[in-house]
Structure 1
Amino acid sequence: METHLIAGLGNPGPEYASTRHNAGFLAVDALAEQLGARYWKTECGALTAKVSRGGATLVLAKPQSYMNTSGGPVKQLMAAYGVSPDRLIVIHDELDIPAGSVRVKVGGGHAGHNGLRSICDKLQTRDWARVRCGIGRPPGRMSVTDFVLSAPRGDALDEFRQACHRASQAALSLMDEGLERTQQQFNA
């Protein structure tokens, strides 16, 4: 049975739980709920839950090492489960995509995203799937750090939650439909 790793990026702890930077965690939580994953355990520096789906094992993961060092737990989980980069999907927040939008791609740079930089460095490759959950740019002169580590409010919160759910669906689509069809559906 083939194993796939879906890693949502974020920061551990209640103070970060609903921040924009935790879009990956929220998308993985949505996946876990949809797929009936009820048991989470700590392994390889991440919270993980396993589910069977369509003849494959899915390992859902939320690295607990903080965003900047997400690559360590991702690499350890890939080694522990024998997952190659072509069976890795990383879900993360993305400043350069309008809030509420979701985009999917394979490969590319890290665009200054420290979680992606860490994964690129640890894996020594950029050839893995990314589901990018758009959070938009900070308003006015707000710093990027303050923006990503703040929680959206009001209508922006609803939009953020919907985008995280769409990101979870894009990850499943990548597995079921492949890259091209998923991009047609989500990148439009």
Structure 2
Amino acid sequence: MHLIVGLGNIGKEYDGTRHNIGFETLDYLSDKKGIAITKKEQHGLTGVYREAGHKIMLAKPTTYMNNSGLCVAGLMNFYQIPLENLLVIYDDIDLAIGDVRIRQRGSAGTHNGMRSIIQHLGNPDFPRIRIGIGRPRLGSELVHYVLGRFPKSEFPAMENAVLEAAKGVDIFVKQGVDLAMNQINVRKKTERSKEDKTKESNVPEISE
């Protein structure tokens, strides 16, 4: 089994915020795969689909961001999922708005959700997809920025980022993290934008 975790905060007041782009990606994936992420287990909501001989679980922690590790570690332990089959999707202020990067491992950086996951797993060596949300203006508080919503001018870039992240998930599950990195990380944003406009339908909408 593969476990794909999107990070965010539960509650309508957080819908469409920068910190919830991991949830937005899972919402798009669940719609694309025709499943619901509604089963309550291990401090989270889950949904399962099967594709190309693989069983894939999508999960949203319901603990709020700072305790995301409770859900991830609980699911990993209960289903005996190997660390290399875990993929976490989250927002990253160290990447430009709309950029998508896949990594095999790494530190938590400034992200409290990732810090919680690493603490509960006791190991940072698991794949992740980072979606860039940019940095706040000088003098602005980080918490207000990440819990704020995207301005309309950023909608196209973030909608495209969700598409790229979803493609990364498909490649990761079917062909592994190395190929996912090779195919997603090297593509230019301009190339992604032109290709997605012609090839993708049902593009996810980023809420105001």
Q: Contact 2:168–2:184 (CA<8 Å) still a contact in 1?
A: yes
CA contact (8 A) 2:104 2:127 kept: yes
Give 3-state SS (helix, strand or coil) of 1:128's partner: coil
The whole-number CA distance in structure 2 between the counterparts of 1:68 and 1:9 is: 10
Distance in 2 of aligned mates of 1:72 and 1:38: 21
Distance 1:159 1:110 in 2: 24
Q: Give the match for residue 118 of structure 2.
A: 120
Matched residue type, 1:157: F
Query: How many Å separate the matches in 1 of 2:72 and 2:37?
Result: 19
**Cross-structure match for 1:151:** 149
Instruction: Give the aligned partner of residue 94 of structure 1.
Output: 92
**Match of 1:46?**
44
Q: Which amino acid aligns with 1:29?
A: D
User: After superposition, where does 1:5-20 map in structure 2 within 5 Å?
Assistant: 5-20=3-18
Aligned residues: 186
Structure 1 stretch 36-45 or stretch 146-155: which is displaced more? Answer: 36-45
Residue aligning to 2:2: 4
1:175 CA drift (Å): 1.6
Which of 136, 157, 177 in structure 2 is aligned with 1:138? 136
Is 1:65 the equivalent of 2:63? yes
Higher relative contact order (CA 8 A, sep 6+): 1
Q: CA shift at 1:39, angstroms? A: 5.7
Match of 1:81 in 2: 79
- Please say if residues 151 and 157 of structure 1, whose CA atoms lie closer than 8 Å, have aligned partners that are also in contact: no
Gaps of 5+ in 1: none
Of 174, 177, 202, 1:176 maps to: 174
SS of 2:150's equivalent in the other structure is coil
* CA RMSD, 1 decimal: 1.2
